[in-house]
Structures are given as structure tokens and as C-alpha cells.
Amino acid sequence: MKIAVIGATGRVGSRIVEEAKSRGHYVTAIVRDASRLSSTEGIEMLVKDVFQLDSELREFDAIVNSFSAKPGEEHKHVEVIKHLIAALKPAQGTILYNVGGAGSLLVDDQGTRLMDTPQFPSLFYATAKAQSDQLDVLRGEKELKWTFFSPAAVFEPGEKTGKVQLGEDHFLLNSQHKSKISMEDYASVLLGEIENPKFLNRRFTAINV
């Protein structure tokens, strides 16, 4: 498959690139600064700002958006997703995969989101709100194929264990009452979804068990 990763030099994006490459896919890293790529072996590179991307995206089977906004510019998460939707609408065969956050996951059946609970760190609220708004934009999109993948609350570099539990819109806890997933396992689950889509036009989540 032809897979492009936006934000390929980031902590998550770089691991998605490596996982896709290890599975034998044709991978293109979309970056603003080529010097930040640790290695270009086995991948193509496209140096371009995300807001300049357009018709060249339509040649791919999957676009992974792992764009990360700087503090104070969280609104760009929504602007980016709108831009990508507009660019990809003419491409019937391309699926947009969005690296989301845990803040929009539901903690009950009344619609309460994790980011609305007293325990949610205020430091991350602006990003969580912007990523929740991203999800709302995607849910209103009727023409484009998309998938929104929310990680667990603790989302850090680690090891690929293969020990994961999948869910949909609700916040998950493992048997130790923890919500965590390594970025390596996240990348593996995402590539599994790209290869065998089960959550088209839906959000899903995953945790380590």
C-alpha cells in the first residue's frame, strides 16, 4: 500500500513510519524540515507545509495525520483537518487516518468526556478540545472515508508488546485500572487498521492490557 504520514518526524509519526516500513509498505514521510528525519532509508520524502498539500495526496491509499500544534496554536488541529478533507474529497480511494487524543473519549453513557472531568490536567485541555473538535468535523463529513484513533490517557514511547484491547468511544482501563498504550503498540494497531479497515468513518481507541 502507498501510505503517507504527515508529521513524520514527531514522536508518534516517526513510529508510524517505521511500522509501515517494516510491513513492506511504500511509505512517504511528509515533513517541514528534512533535517529532522533520523533516516530516509526505505522511504520517500515530501518536504512541504501541511497547508500547502493538495492533489499530491490523492495518489496514496492512506494518509495518516499526526500533525501536532504548538502551544497557543491548538486551533490549527481543526484547520488542518478541514484542509485535508478539502484536498482529499476528490480521491475516492484514499482513507484519512487521524491521530487523535484521549480527551474526547466518553467516561459514562451521558456524554461526559474525559477532558470534562475534574481530574483532567488543565495543561492539556486546549489540545484535547481541539482534537475533539477535529472528531466533530470528521463526523460531519459524508463523502470522505476516515478513521479517528484515540490513544489511552498515558501515551508514551515504550515497547511493542502486541498486548492490546480495542474499544470505540468509551475510555478504557486495564485490569490494573490504568489507561496507557505505548506509541509502538499504537503504531502497530494503526497499521493493522490500515491493512484491514474495521472502523471506517468511526473513532476507535486502544490500551495496553
Residue 186 has pLDDT above 80, yes or no: yes
Which of the four pLDDT bands, split at 50, 70 and 90, describes residue 37?
A: confident
Which range (42-46, 94-98, 108-112, 158-162) has the least confidence?
A: 42-46
Residue 38 has pLDDT above 80, yes or no: no
The pLDDT of residue 133 is: 97
Which range (4-13, 84-93, 101-110, 164-173) has the least confidence?
A: 84-93
Short-list 86, 97, 29, 31, CA closest to 61: 97
Would the pTM count as exceeding 0.75? yes
**What residue type is assigned to position 107 of the chain?**
V
DSSP-derived secondary structure letter, 11: H
Grid cell locating 123: 495543561
The pLDDT of residue 120 is: 95
The pLDDT of residue 196 is: 98
Q: How far apart are CA 24 and CA 199, in angstroms?
A: 22
What would the mean pLDDT of 151-157 be, rounded to a whole number? 97
Q: Are 5 and 28 in contact (CB under 8 A)?
A: yes
Which range (2-6, 19-23, 43-47, 164-168) has the least confidence?
A: 43-47
Which of the four pLDDT bands, split at 50, 70 and 90, describes residue 115?
A: very high
Q: How far apart are CA 178 and CA 153, in angstroms?
A: 9
Cell 460531519 found at: 140
Which of the four pLDDT bands, split at 50, 70 and 90, describes residue 5?
A: very high
What would the mean pLDDT of 199-205 be, rounded to a whole number? 98
Q: How far apart are CA 100 and CA 113, in angstroms?
A: 14
The pLDDT of residue 88 is: 94
What would the mean pLDDT of 25-36 be, rounded to a whole number? 90
The pLDDT of residue 35 is: 79
pLDDT tens, position by position, 158-178: 999 999 999 999 999 999 999
Count Cβ atoms within 10 A of the Cβ of residue 4 and give its class: 0-12 exposed, 13-18 middle, 19 or more buried: buried
**What residue type is assigned to position 74 of the chain?**
E
DSSP-derived secondary structure letter, 37: -
